[in-house]
Structure 1
Amino acid sequence: MSTSPTPQPTADDPSPEARAHRALADAVREIEHHVAAAGWDAPVRLFALVRTQDALAAEPGLADQLTPEVLAAARADDQHLTSVEQEGVPAADDLERLLGGLTWPSTVHGAAVTVERVMLPPGAEEDLPTDHDAALAALLAHPQRQDVRLAVGVLRSGPAWCAVRTRAHDSDDAVGQGPDLVPGLVEAVRATLG
């Protein structure tokens, strides 16, 4: 996977749409860094994305839990997002089924998910056995496998942002980012927003 610079939401566009896209990219990066700090071999993690100003209006005590930098950013930009990790997410062997059963209330402006996956280079999957258990064993033992962590966020208004980290290049400056790196997962998260 290339970690060359990807197009970022531009900082010079003051439109609400551009600011929402930048806020989403910032939130997904923050989520990915937060999850990365806990190490590898983690379960699926889900996050509600809410506009920080709205969250502060609904629950003023939240201000005591946020850093002064976050409060200043939220006051300066009504599109600023706060991620709220969802506790008690059931363990899921099938991520699609888990996401397919989720819906978010209208007070949630977006959603994000992190998940770890094993990837093989193009064409390598063709050599895997057809039996599920044998294929899984072969996948996990494959010498060219790549362990990756995917962080995907989507806003109700449409924008999406992805961050991808490989275990082989496990550093914050080697995280690939972009709006459509994992299109299938983007669509699955988008579907949870109704």
Structure 2
Amino acid sequence: MHPATTDLAAAVREVEHHVAAAGWDAPVRVFALVRTQAALATEPGLADQLADEVLAAAQAAPWHLTSIEQEGLPSAPDLESLLAELSWPDAVDGVAVTVERVVLPPEAEAQMPQGKAAALAYLLAHPERQDVRLAVGVLRDGPSWCAVRTRANDADDQVGQGPDLVPGLVAALRSTLH
């Protein structure tokens, strides 16, 4: 296992909990992930903005990550287009994104009508639909981590987690780092 996996998992959980605190029906949010020790070395004033326990964790773990929400994202018609427009300087060690989606069981998805308007109406009216929030993070040439929360089980201890729960989004995020 990559030494940063545990720290990336913690950063993705933190981002997901932060976004969850604002409630549902939220826009896409994007976060740069930087190693806290490196950020403190280049920006000593950052120490004044971090809690003592965060500073202690950063001293103890070389891969401790700080997330920096990106404001003023470019306008894009969808998540894929937005990610295609993003690139990161070398000082950014990784990236995380949160996005909400509606999902259906595979058998219901197979019956979805063609056409964007008809498919959307079907999706929103389907009794088995699930609203989910995806929080996905990747490190440059390193691990990925995903957290998935459903609106039906909206509790911090009910968030599913794993390295590759959303492989398409992992790959799209990774492409922004090259």
RMSD: 1.1
Aligned positions of 1:78-89 closer than 5 A: 78-89=62-73
SS at match of 1:168: helix
Q: Equivalent residues in 2 for 1:25-36 (5 A)? A: 25-36=9-20
Q: Percent identity?
A: 72
- 2:61 aligned with 1:106, yes or no? no
Q: Paired residue for 2:147?
A: 163
Give 5+ residue unaligned stretches, structure 1: 1-8, 10-16
TM normalised by structure 2 equals 0.97
Conserved in 2, the CA contact under 8 Å of 1:110 and 1:155?
yes
Tell me how many residue pairs correspond in the alignment: 178
Instruction: Name the CA distance, whole Å, in 1 between partners of 2:165 and 2:76.
Output: 22
Deviation at 1:47, TM superposition (A): 0.3
CA displacement 1:11-63 (0-9 Å, x = unmatched): xxxxxx32x11110000000000000000000000000000011111111111
Tell me which stretches of 4 or more aligned residues in structure 1 moved more than 4 Å.
none
Residues 129-168 of structure 1 correspond to what in structure 2 (within 5 A)?
129-168=113-152
Pairing of 1:69-84 with structure 2 (within 5 A): 69-84=53-68
Deviation at 1:91, TM superposition (A): 4.9
Q: Which of 69, 73, 77 matches 1:93?
A: 77
TM-score normalised by L of structure 1: 0.89
**Secondary structure of the structure 2 residue equivalent to 1:150:** strand
C-alpha distance after superposition, 1:126-185 (max 9, x if no partner): 222211111111101111000000000000132000000000000000000000000000
Question: Partners in 1 of 2:137 and 2:96 — Cα distance?
Answer: 4
